[in-house]
Amino acid sequence: MLRGVIVECPSCEARNRLPASRVKDRAKCAACKAAILPVRHPVALSSDADFDELVQSSPLPVLVDFWADWCGPCRMVAPELEKLAQSREGKLVVAKVDTEALPNVAARFGIRSIPTMVLFEGGREAKRIAGAMPANAIASQLSV
């Protein structure tokens, strides 16, 4: 059963569950009716199933940031990924995987250092980079 991804409303902060296959569409918040799609902020993935659904079903490329709360460079790159998500709205989905909360996902992709950013296209890994860097360097290295 597909669960969808949780998209937080930028207006009222309500959490809305949407099918990953609709991330390219336009959608409104169920609570306040403000626009919540296309996704313009990184999406936190909370389960292996949410990760699999987003990567497999998204009609857009998905950039996954593998990070952990205790990681200083991860905290440094977070605002850069926010900038990237906003500048690529409707063209790219930025997602975050906490390697402490989802160790199975991190292990599946051989994540050995963080932050590591993996670009998925059509459900498959296309490119990967590691380390904290500005949004323009991330975009340039991943060609997004």
- 12 tagged catalytic: no
Instruction: Write out the DSSP string of 40-99.
Output: -SPEEP-SHHHHHHHHHH-SS-EEEEEE-TT-HHHHHHHHHHHHHHHHTTTT-EEEEEET
**Cα(144)–Cα(122) distance, integer angstroms:** 14
- 71 tagged catalytic: yes
Q: How far lies 34's CA from each of 13, 22, 127, in Å?
A: 10, 17, 34
Which residues carry out catalysis?
71, 74
